[in-house]
Chain A
């Protein structure tokens, strides 16, 4: 059967758009999304008309992307387009500027379709905390897509967009990519500008691509990476051409499997497929060795001190004065309390309370300071490991997609689903999830590759070799 236009990878879409213009592809994706979004809830706003009105003429669609249709998570600001972090408290918030990634992709000829659903303020691993309702996994609509960038991952997996952007603070790109069977990359901290990304955990947050293939990820990384004077944490370091790393050659690459990531509690089917992926790389010439990251078991605890502390501070700005929701109150203080109580959902409140607690007088040393010190220990684990190996290979998530409502009433169980993705954020290193197989029930399984800071090329090299060898990205959910 001939490939439908909405099924194209970004690379293929660019080639078609360069030859024939992007309109047929855009139309195909719009029709597909109109059909599927009522079932999957991947988009909170799907308004191609809005972007058409922004005087996007055919000549705007030159550039590298030539009008290929993309989508972004609802926490990345687009000038003139409501952006809400899937929260009631930001309803009606219309940013007066473009995020740097939006400007860069726009300049490269992207056509933006709309904004993808997410956990409220990116707080969650299942896309069930969105004020717009839960997102459904296209491989089994009774299951979660993962989170927080679940809408972006579903849109890519279900061919409702050609590619998308998400953001990753503790696994929010990689875990949904794994659960939906697509490719998600969290770049090195500082690689991509966060200007215009509504902040969650400022020492962790990174924007990154969610795509159908490894090559598509490299194409988007070429466009969004680099120093930005508007983000003082972006790093002034040359951006290589990542597509050059897609060489299908892993000879001599040293890959470590940390023993702490293959422990009790991990789903046996996940473990099998991830070990098989390591074997494929070995057969292609990589050296596989077992390594140790001894402080792995403490990563979630550190994260739920430091990230919530940063989150509670970042969410202090939502007070009903400058943007979004305002609840009436007879004086200023009452207005603050009512606005925040009505505007934030339960998970946001939980994190604000926990964050303010660990920062409060009397507890700062015992919690926040302690967490920062253990963060140093985890960082040293990785520094030691990278003396022995070039890449670290692990499962992305300990389980495949779980059922909707299975973990939502037990926050700690939900937090532990990010146990393998959180360390890369604590340490600031790049990490990618790519599909490596399916369970017997047909649910996707993701393998994670982590590298030294600014060695996204090493990840691309191994990921491309693995993907081309196992070729499972061609399998699509039945919808």
Chain B
């Protein structure tokens, strides 16, 4: 089977419980089965649509504006130290 849920869950940063794995695998396989109907269509030379407005890069002037919402942002974060977001240990000591 092409849909390896354990690998995709790892890429998705989700630690699924065994019963969740089973249910979600079944659902997604059924959805992928439905999606396969697109295979009926020949699309070789069709241009893909990623965006309906066909926008190129949108630029704005690089003007400095003065806003300071740092304290407000930090005050609502789940774990902080001073003006910083605090996270668990990233690198283990040797």
Report which A residues bind B (CB closer than 8 A).
Answer: 92-94, 96-97, 189-190, 203, 229, 232-233, 235, 295, 297-298, 300-302, 304-305, 312, 319-326, 328-338, 340-341, 344, 346, 349-350, 352-354, 356-357, 360, 363, 367, 369-377, 379, 411-412, 415, 427-428, 453
Contact = CB atoms under 8 A, between A and B. Distances in A.
A372 B48 contact: yes
Nearest to B78: A326
Most buried by A among B14, B16, B90: B14
B38 interface: yes
Contacts of B79: 326
B64 interface: no
A472 B43 CA distance: 45
Contacts of A233: 51, 53, 55, 58
Interface string B11-29: 1111110001001100110
Contacts of B13: 319, 333, 336-337, 340
29 contacts: A97-B69, A203-B51, A203-B52, A298-B38, A301-B35, A301-B38, A304-B31, A321-B78, A321-B87, A322-B77, A322-B85, A332-B87, A332-B89, A335-B88, A337-B14, A346-B20, A346-B24, A352-B14, A354-B31, A357-B8, A357-B32, A367-B35, A370-B43, A371-B38, A372-B50, A377-B43, A379-B49, A411-B31, A428-B53
B70 to A, nearest CB: 9
Interface residues of B, number: 50
A427 B69 CA distance: 37
Contacts of B92: 331
A304 B53 CA distance: 21
A138 to B, nearest CB: 31
Given A300-B34, A373-B43, A375-B48, 14 more contacts: A295-B41, A301-B34, A301-B37, A304-B34, A304-B35, A305-B35, A322-B77, A323-B76, A332-B88, A338-B15, A349-B16, A372-B50, A376-B46, A376-B49
